[in-house]
Amino acid sequence: MEDIADAKEDMKSEGDGKVNEESQETITCMSRWQAPIQAFLRPGMWIPGCRAIRYYAEKWTLSCECDTALESFIKSVEYFKVNKGEGTLGNEKIIIRENDAKRHKATIYCFTKTAEYLDVVEVCFSESSSLAGKDSQEGRGKCNATIRSFSSGFIPTLIPLAPLLSVVFFFIPFAGNDPKSGTFTNNTRVRQLREHMTNKESVKGIEVVTKSTCCSCI
């Protein structure tokens, strides 16, 4: 109950990098309240075999520092919030749930337009491992990132008691597909953000080090 109370309190906060209130105008009150709970429980990720079709992750090496990388990521998310109709992200309702400049972490909630199924994107930037040695010059001006996108549960957050029902029906196999491209939405979402950060923002290059559909790998 403490986690639920905290989640509700976070939804009210402004100016602390938690929630973008403007983006919530088109999202139902039911989804606003239930999304943090379902994202925290994430029952859609409980079964190892099934979660592979609704989870995608990559590890990156970026040619910029963590602050710049996080700023570019947030700007890319903001771009897709405004420019509707561009791929998977451009056809979703998006909330920037977390933007933690100190820990270089961000979380965004992606809702489908009608039923408001909830997918979650999490990214964390860290200094390149080669910077561990103070005298090492290799890797300076670079950082690493882990980004993952996954479907939170079987029940859309528009429905009352969606987190509870998603827990009850956690065993039901489901997958998010983009009908236009025929690809999984989680894969497409990560690719769109990566490409926009590389082409439109101040990130000179992103090298994809690892790709995974298994939660235990990334």
Question: Does residue 93 have a pLDDT over 70?
Answer: yes
pLDDT confidence band for 131 (50 / 70 / 90): very low
pLDDT attached to residue 87? 79
Q: For 18, how many CA atoms within 13 A lie in the half-sphere containing its CB?
A: 13
Structure tokens at 14: 């402004």
pLDDT confidence band for 42 (50 / 70 / 90): very high
Higher per-residue pLDDT: 215 or 76? 76
8 A C-beta contact, residue 191 and residue 57: no
28, 34, 36, 41 alpha-carbon torsion, rounded to 10°: -150
Structure tokens at 40: 């925290």
pLDDT attached to residue 49? 75
* Average pLDDT score over residue span 139-168: 92
- Find the DSSP H helices in 13-154: 29-41, 48-51, 66-82
pTM of the model: 0.81
pLDDT confidence band for 141 (50 / 70 / 90): confident
